[in-house]
A and B are shown apart, each in its own frame.
Chain A
Amino acid sequence: AQKITQTQPGMFVQEKEAVTLDCTYDTSDQSYGLFWYKQPSSGEMIFLIYQGSYDEQNATEGRYSLNFQKARKSANLVISASQLGDSAMYFCAMREGRLNSGGYQKVTFGTGTKLQVIP
């Protein structure tokens, strides 16, 4: 079973509009973290936002916010006021596991959503 599912291979949004990129996850761990990354055509992977499983408030970073619905196991990224520079691939990722007591951590990525912002 897929650990991270991004069901939207591609999306279009009008400049200055808001857009939501979907992400659902699957884990049996109680302690986990969810990430969103942006990958422009140049290839680098840019960290956008992080949500811990115990964080009660939804994470926000500037124009990015993470709509975390724990019971539904979803962690959607909302980009407000889209800009042309937002055109890129967006990846949702999850970190499971503990480092305490010799534990491990594994980070799994979804297949990505290609966002194109239209002027």
Chain B
Amino acid sequence: DSGVTQTPKHLITATGQRVTLRCSPRSGDLSVYWYQQSLDQGLQFLIHYYNGEERAKGNILERFSAQQFPDLHSELNLSSLELGDSALYFCASSVGLKTGTGTSGNTIYFGEGSWLTVV
């Protein structure tokens, strides 16, 4: 158990709909990352939040948005869903203070993922 909690674990929805994926980071972790993993695109970085602030954006579509709340949990909102949005969505967290030395504060732990199927 990584300590990162994602809900829901599985979700089936229709095209055009909107869903919200939720992530609770490990206790004490300030950084939250969202990733999308699909068969044809591999593991794609979507967005990074640190202590409530957006810090980096990757290949995130305009139909997708995210936020990190004061209690550090995060939500990824996916709207106007298309068949191609079907994927495994991961949330990951880390303390996120240092880069370059040692494991403490640098390890990024992943949740079990949310499987999204758009039909």
Chain A residues near B (Cβ < 8 Å): 30-33, 35, 37, 43-47, 50, 52-55, 59, 91, 93, 95-99, 103-109, 111-112
17 A-B Cβ contacts within 8 A?
A30-B100, A43-B113, A44-B110, A45-B113, A47-B107, A50-B106, A53-B100, A53-B101, A55-B101, A99-B31, A104-B56, A105-B31, A105-B55, A106-B45, A106-B56, A107-B108, A112-B43
User: What CA separation (Å) do A46 and B48 show in the bound complex?
Assistant: 19
Chain B residues near A (Cβ < 8 Å): 2, 31, 33, 35, 42-43, 45, 48, 50, 55-56, 58, 88, 90, 92, 96-103, 106-110, 112-113, 115
CB distance from B19 to the nearest CB of A (A): 18
User: Across the interface, do A105 and B96 meet the contact criterion of CB distance under 8 Å?
Assistant: yes
User: Across the interface, do B97 and A43 meet the contact criterion of CB distance under 8 Å?
Assistant: no
User: Across the interface, do B113 and A106 meet the contact criterion of CB distance under 8 Å?
Assistant: no
* Nearest-CB residue, chain B, relative to A59: B103
User: Across the interface, do A52 and B106 meet the contact criterion of CB distance under 8 Å?
Assistant: yes
User: Across the interface, do B110 and A104 meet the contact criterion of CB distance under 8 Å?
Assistant: no
